[in-house]
Structure 1
Amino acid sequence: MYINLSSTFNLFLDDRGLKHLDFFENQVAPMISVSPQSSNYFLKTFFTLAITNESISNGLAAWGALFDNAIEGEDKYLTVNRYLQRGNELIHKNEISTNNDRFDSFIKLAYYLIVIGIHICSGDTKQWHDYFNRCVRLFKDYGGIVKFINDFKYSNDCKFLISNFQFHDVMSSETLKNGTICSMNNYNDLFKFNKILELDDYGIDPYQGCIQSVYLLLGEIMNSYVELKEERFNLNKLLNSSTSGDSGPVINNLRLSYLKRVNEKISELSNKIEYCQPNETQMNQLEEIDQANHLKLFELYRITCKMYLSLYLKQSQPISSEMQNYLINAQGIMDELIQTNLISSLNMSLLICGISCCNKFDRQNLNDKFCSIYERYQVGNVKRIWDVVREAWRRNPYGIVCIDWLDICNDFGWKISMC
């Protein structure tokens, strides 16, 4: 329904801005969310804040303008940036104010997360992460995530902001480089043990649906990769600069110790994958057909986690029988989900499946999936992921090398979010 021009929004936006805000409400928010409207916090939190906050309303107008096909070419770029510039000016005034209170911090965090979403949807490979770092600094200045959510008495709006931040933390290329910004212990305390998304009728999370448990596990896998990668690098450096001689037994003991840690970590994480379950409380809130689709998405991400373990901890070749088995099963599930509202959740699986395609048949199959997905879900980030996959194919034409997609991002000078 078009926003009434006599509403409070017209205090903040011109007529075009109101139309873009309406487009966000009715087109963009439902498209990027995997939750029912009853728990679509892009509307319940962001849109509600926009009623009384000018920076938020300008941010959402920019997000709406980004997807409004009535605006084309340079006009779209100028329109989006006009509303973003206004929102940034207002937030900057708030940032330098000496009278900030906790609600100011809440508004700033919400605004940063909105701008992150806009930049990711546009296909940006840098600015989104600058705003993510602003979120990090905000939490540090505030005293941490736990203090933040405590001060807001575990409100559902605050839970959404924290969950939103956690999702971007786990789904970032930078996480494969440095690990998650917030420790997985802290995330697990909030979401797994205290189960904050299961309390107070929070509903279905708009980014993570009912399967946050497997996203948390993916974060653990990526952190383990970071820890073991540095050790493997130092060990390989030693192996390639030494002759055996008297140092041979010492070096071999180091190798055995490292391989033991790798196998123990693989065993631990494989066990967690095997016993991981979707959130039953949230699943029960869905219609039967939606439950079936969320279960398929859960299984797809379980396979994605297994592929990460195999590629990056085991260092398996993409062409290995293990990886090819995972690939075939993952692609079958993706085919079933492309026509559902869970299409926005396929990016990470698309990437890891793409890296695992080793022949013309599978690569053409994946190319068709990218085209089909982008036709229905025209988000610039999908194109960036496709660029990374095609570069992986160029570097690894026969699937005999373990390709680290972070290396491709670094060579491109990109920071990518899989959201």
Structure 2
Amino acid sequence: MSSILGDSSSTLPDGATQAQILQYFRHRLASLLSYDEVLFPNAFHAFNATASANIGSSAGRALHCGILALASRHMFNKGQLCYERISEQLGVEGSAIILQRLKDIPRVEDTAEEESVTLLAGLLMFIMYKICRGDVWGFQSYFTQLKRLCEVLFTLGQAPKGLSNTKFSFLENVMYHDSYGCSLYAHGPMIDPEISTAYANTQRGIPHALTGLALPLYCIVPRIAKLVNQSWAHCNTIWTDRELSEIVSMAEDLEATLEKERIWLENLVRDRPDMASHRYFHDAFRIACLLQIKCFVLRQPPDALSVRLLVRNALSLLETMESLNLPGFVSSHWIIFTVSICSTLPHDNRPDTIPTNRGGSSESNVSDRQRASELYATAIDKLAFLNMSRSRQIVQRLWDQNQGGRLFVHWLDILADFDWEIIFA
């Protein structure tokens, strides 16, 4: 493949090794990371097709390197140690190619759409590669360039016309990683929520490869993040009456929007019983959004009973998704993180009460935090993406500080202490 890519100095492995890595990417990793491996056996088809169609360009070469880098890194994470060097070399080479090409483009508007789409796919692939490595810095240059491309590729005026399957797949991928990234709090969204909502609504009710039926909820996350950031900025300052009234009102508006999404899903499942398996992820994601509002906008401590109920409901949904192999568990890192940082320890020697499979309740000595920890352990083992172990460290530090859930501690403070960039994907 080095001759095909036209660069004799390339660090690409030999053809047989590339074939093994690509086989792993297409038939194992792409299925593993699909929201629903039955509906979407290859969540990365658009990346494969785009790389193959553009292999003669620098953008296509970079995307090809990114695919190989991600897949070989995941192979290393799963115990195939011989792939670490290949992954590291391709990660350095491919990211340098794509960032240099974008640096050479003064105006994205003057670039052919095919190249812009290929560059966007390449940036997404290297973001996933860094997530797989467990990187906690160096994301912002990729996010900055993604925003440049998205401003041209996804405009409000284009939304009613719809997108090709390939472009919509990449749009979903951008929204997915944008909603889960801490860059959202520091620099705002890559796509304006009004624009993302317009596109998401063109395919409302259709399951997608990463987000299932929840894509409209992802459009709400940037609005929640804005309020979370606003509340966090006021942690050590006095609120005026007007500021308090405004932020509480905006939080209530978002809660009302989330309630409308719940009702929409209820109606959809009633009319389309075949969609019932998708409600678990949608409900869990919606609850995580509510928890972010209640705990990190309105600053309710995890010990608040309304918060504890939401945590219990989300834990039950996540456990059911995992045990029954329902769609969405692989996309649930941010949900698990949010539920974990909002969970509590028992305050006395009485056991917690958790629901049984028969709809009643039973006494158990398993605390909410233990249940969350077990979900983390399962997800870390199943996905083998090292960023999950990083986020687990944030959770543990917050648990160490918030006195079992009685004290409000902001996860953004923990992140600032660590000086990390992280994507909870």
Q: When the two structures are superposed, what TM-score results if normalisation uses the length of structure 2?
A: 0.80
Distance across 1 between alignment mates of 2:314 and 2:250: 23
Aligned pair 1:272/2:243, yes or no? no
Match of 1:88 in 2: 95
Match of 1:145 in 2: 154
Distance across 2 between alignment mates of 1:375 and 1:198: 32
Aligned pair 1:212/2:215, yes or no? yes
- Per the alignment, do residues 130 and 36 of structure 1 end up closer, same or farther by CA in structure 2, a change over 3 Å counting? same
The residue type paired with residue 380 of structure 1 is L
Aligned pair 1:394/2:418, yes or no? no
Deviates more, 1:324-333 or 1:362-371: 362-371
Offset, 1:256: 2.3
- Per the alignment, do residues 283 and 77 of structure 1 end up closer, same or farther by CA in structure 2, a change over 3 Å counting? farther
Match of 1:30 in 2: 31
* Matched-pair contact (CA < 8 Å) for 1:94–1:100: no
Offset, 1:282: 9.7
Distance across 2 between alignment mates of 1:102 and 1:157: 12
Offset, 1:58: 2.2
Gapped regions of structure 1 (runs ≥ 5) = 240-253
1:98-121 CA-to-partner distances (Å, cap 9, x unmatched) read: 795322211111100111111112
Match of 1:260 in 2: 245
* Matched-pair contact (CA < 8 Å) for 1:20–1:62: no
Q: CA RMSD in A?
A: 3.4
- Per the alignment, do residues 287 and 45 of structure 1 end up closer, same or farther by CA in structure 2, a change over 3 Å counting? farther
Match among 337, 343, 348 for residue 357 of structure 1: 343
1:269-317 CA-to-partner distances (Å, cap 9, x unmatched) read: 22111111467999899994xx333101111112112211211222111
Match of 1:244 in 2: none
Match of 1:246 in 2: none
The residue type paired with residue 401 of structure 1 is L
Offset, 1:228: 4.5
SS of residue in 2 equivalent to 1:68 = helix
- Per the alignment, do residues 95 and 313 of structure 1 end up closer, same or farther by CA in structure 2, a change over 3 Å counting? closer
Match among 277, 281, 294 for residue 293 of structure 1: 277
Offset, 1:258: 2.1
- Per the alignment, do residues 44 and 148 of structure 1 end up closer, same or farther by CA in structure 2, a change over 3 Å counting? farther
Distance across 1 between alignment mates of 2:175 and 2:269: 21
* Matched-pair contact (CA < 8 Å) for 1:10–1:18: no
Offset, 1:23: 0.3
Normalized per residue, the structure richer in helix is 1
Offset, 1:28: 0.4
* Matched-pair contact (CA < 8 Å) for 1:167–1:208: yes
Aligned pairs, number = 384
Identity of aligned residues (%): 17
Match among 327, 347, 352 for residue 333 of structure 2: 347
* Matched-pair contact (CA < 8 Å) for 2:146–2:190: no
Q: When the two structures are superposed, what TM-score results if normalisation uses the length of structure 1?
A: 0.81
Match of 2:361 in 1: none
* Matched-pair contact (CA < 8 Å) for 2:134–2:385: yes
Gapped regions of structure 2 (runs ≥ 5) = 56-60, 347-366
Match of 1:159 in 2: 168
- Per the alignment, do residues 316 and 349 of structure 1 end up closer, same or farther by CA in structure 2, a change over 3 Å counting? same
1:92-145 CA-to-partner distances (Å, cap 9, x unmatched) read: 5644667953222111111001111111122111233432222123345xx463
Distance across 2 between alignment mates of 1:157 and 1:281: 29
- Per the alignment, do residues 312 and 90 of structure 1 end up closer, same or farther by CA in structure 2, a change over 3 Å counting? closer
* Matched-pair contact (CA < 8 Å) for 2:66–2:90: yes
1:361-387 CA-to-partner distances (Å, cap 9, x unmatched) read: 222222222112222222112111211
Match of 1:185 in 2: 194
Aligned pair 1:115/2:126, yes or no? yes
Aligned runs of 1:173-252 on 2, under 5 Å?
173-192=182-201, 195=202, 197=203, 204-230=207-233, 232-233=234-235, 237=237, 239=238
- Per the alignment, do residues 168 and 279 of structure 1 end up closer, same or farther by CA in structure 2, a change over 3 Å counting? farther
Match of 2:359 in 1: none
SS of residue in 2 equivalent to 1:158 = helix
Match of 2:357 in 1: none
* Matched-pair contact (CA < 8 Å) for 1:117–1:128: no
The residue type paired with residue 62 of structure 1 is A
Distance across 1 between alignment mates of 2:195 and 2:223: 12
Offset, 1:27: 0.5
Match of 2:353 in 1: none
- Per the alignment, do residues 40 and 93 of structure 1 end up closer, same or farther by CA in structure 2, a change over 3 Å counting? farther
1:190-223 CA-to-partner distances (Å, cap 9, x unmatched) read: 223xx1x359xxx632221111122222332222
